[in-house]
Amino acid sequence: MRPGQFNGSTESAHPATARSAAIRGIVAALVLFALGTSVTRAGEIRILAAVAVQDPLDRLAAAFTKATGHKVDIGYGLTGPILADIKAGKPVDAVVLPEAGRKGLEDAGLLASHTPVSASLAGVGVPTAAPLPDVSSLEKFTALLRAAPSVSYTDPKSGGAFGQGFDRELVELGLADEVHRKALLLRGSNLVVVAVARGEAAVAITFKSAIVTTPGLKFAGILPPPFGNQEPFAAGVLKTAASPDIARAFIASLLTPEARAIWNEQGFVPAGATAH
């Protein structure tokens, strides 16, 4: 049969195949209708996200654009500045933020909906040529903090949620002054890992996802209690979103099995997973 030539009824020739294709078509149409997306006109959404999720989110956004035609414009930053921008009226359709950011927007009445998308374990990274420290207990981790010539983590004053939480625990344990004297405080996990890989600090205390994707670093282990060792991230649609339907469709795309594989590859775990 030549291309373009129709040779009778497909259903009569392959009834099961035809019915399956029809069902798939109906399901696809219902999904598009439920999400309110347009199959004829591409749109655009603006997203603000924590810098910690940049590596997987860039890949997922590119895949979403390729599949739907909708453009995804993402701005990355720290939680505090992102909240300030949104509260000041910056046009944003959706966010991908750690728990502290989600709660801040929800408390301010700015979120229309939200859903957990992934989580990053928090731990210790060192240069690949350095001995691998044992951080399996609070005593051993404390010994590392005291013995290391320098450590680097996110500056609490920069608005980073992880740095603020880590610093609070240092204060509670009476370690803050000692660690601050030799701490290289930077604006975000991406800068922390680069600094340690370059030898500007001896120990990185940040997200596992940032450590394992940085050449020149190796992961020593997660932070022991009482330090928080898992940072969950949620995606949310803002009440002021200009394109809420596309934003919801994008968030749904972050939860597919294919998306989960990308999250895992970048060192993330499903939200609520046991840290180890």
Instruction: Judge if 200 and 247 occupy the same domain.
Output: no
Task: Classify residue 11: in a domain, yes or no.
Answer: no
Residue-level pLDDT at 261? 95
Instruction: Judge if 115 and 235 occupy the same domain.
Output: yes
- pLDDT band for position 267 (cuts 50, 70, 90): confident
Write the single-letter amino acid at 135. Answer: V
Instruction: Judge if 129 and 205 occupy the same domain.
Output: yes
Task: Classify residue 1: in a domain, yes or no.
Answer: no
The Cα–Cα gap between 96 and 180 comes to 30
pTM recorded for the entire structure: 0.72
Residue-level pLDDT at 78? 87
The number of CA neighbours under 13 Å toward the Cβ of 38 is 10
Rounded to the nearest 10 degrees, how much is the dihedral formed by the CA atoms of 38, 40, 45, 51? 100
Which residues make Cβ contacts (< 8 Å) with residue 172, sequence separation at least 6? 226
Instruction: Judge if 237 and 111 occupy the same domain.
Output: yes
Residue-level pLDDT at 159? 80
Q: Does residue 141 have a pLDDT over 70? A: yes
Instruction: Judge if 214 and 175 occupy the same domain.
Output: yes
Task: Classify residue 145: in a domain, yes or no.
Answer: yes
Better-predicted residue by pLDDT, 142 or 12 = 142
Q: Does residue 3 have a pLDDT over 90? A: no
Query: Which CATH number do you get for residue 210?
Result: 3.40.190.10
Better-predicted residue by pLDDT, 220 or 161 = 220
Q: What is the mean pLDDT of residues 85-96?
A: 97
Instruction: Judge if 225 and 247 occupy the same domain.
Output: no
Q: What is the mean pLDDT of residues 256-264?
A: 95
Instruction: Judge if 198 and 154 occupy the same domain.
Output: yes
Better-predicted residue by pLDDT, 17 or 215 = 215
Share of the chain above pLDDT 70, in %: 84
Strand ranges (E), the chain:
44-50, 71-77, 94-98, 111-127, 151-154, 183-186, 203-207, 217-222, 230-238, 268-269
Instruction: Judge if 201 and 130 occupy the same domain.
Output: yes
Instruction: Judge if 114 and 235 occupy the same domain.
Output: yes
Task: Classify residue 14: in a domain, yes or no.
Answer: no
Instruction: Judge if 127 and 64 occupy the same domain.
Output: no
Whether cis (ω within 30° of 0) applies to the bond prior to 15 is no
Better-predicted residue by pLDDT, 269 or 148 = 148
pLDDT in tens, 162-214: 889 999 999 999 999 999 999 999 988 889 999 999 999 999 999 998 999 89
Q: What is the mean pLDDT of residues 44-49?
A: 98
Residue-level pLDDT at 158? 86
Better-predicted residue by pLDDT, 129 or 275 = 129
Residue-level pLDDT at 33? 42
Q: Which residues pair with 111 in a beta bridge?
A: 238
- pLDDT band for position 272 (cuts 50, 70, 90): low
Which residues make Cβ contacts (< 8 Å) with residue 124, sequence separation at least 6? 133, 135, 141, 144, 203, 204, 205, 219, 220, 221, 223
The Cα–Cα gap between 136 and 248 comes to 40
- pLDDT band for position 273 (cuts 50, 70, 90): low
Share of the chain above pLDDT 90, in %: 69
Q: Does residue 2 have a pLDDT over 80? A: no
Task: Classify residue 21: in a domain, yes or no.
Answer: no
Instruction: Judge if 115 and 238 occupy the same domain.
Output: yes
Do 107 and 195 touch, CB atoms closer than 8 A?
Answer: no
Task: Classify residue 10: in a domain, yes or no.
Answer: no
pLDDT in tens, 66-81: 999 999 999 999 898 9
- pLDDT band for position 19 (cuts 50, 70, 90): very low
Tokens 């019915």: give the residue.
Answer: 19
Structural domain total, the chain: 2
Task: Classify residue 164: in a domain, yes or no.
Answer: yes
Strand ranges (E), 80-110:
94-98
For the purposes of burial, counting CB atoms within 10 Å of the CB of 64, is it exposed (0-12), middle (13-18) or buried (19 or more)? buried
Boundaries of domain holding 167: 121-230
Average pLDDT, the chain: 86
Residue-level pLDDT at 161? 81
Instruction: Judge if 99 and 151 occupy the same domain.
Output: no
Better-predicted residue by pLDDT, 19 or 217 = 217
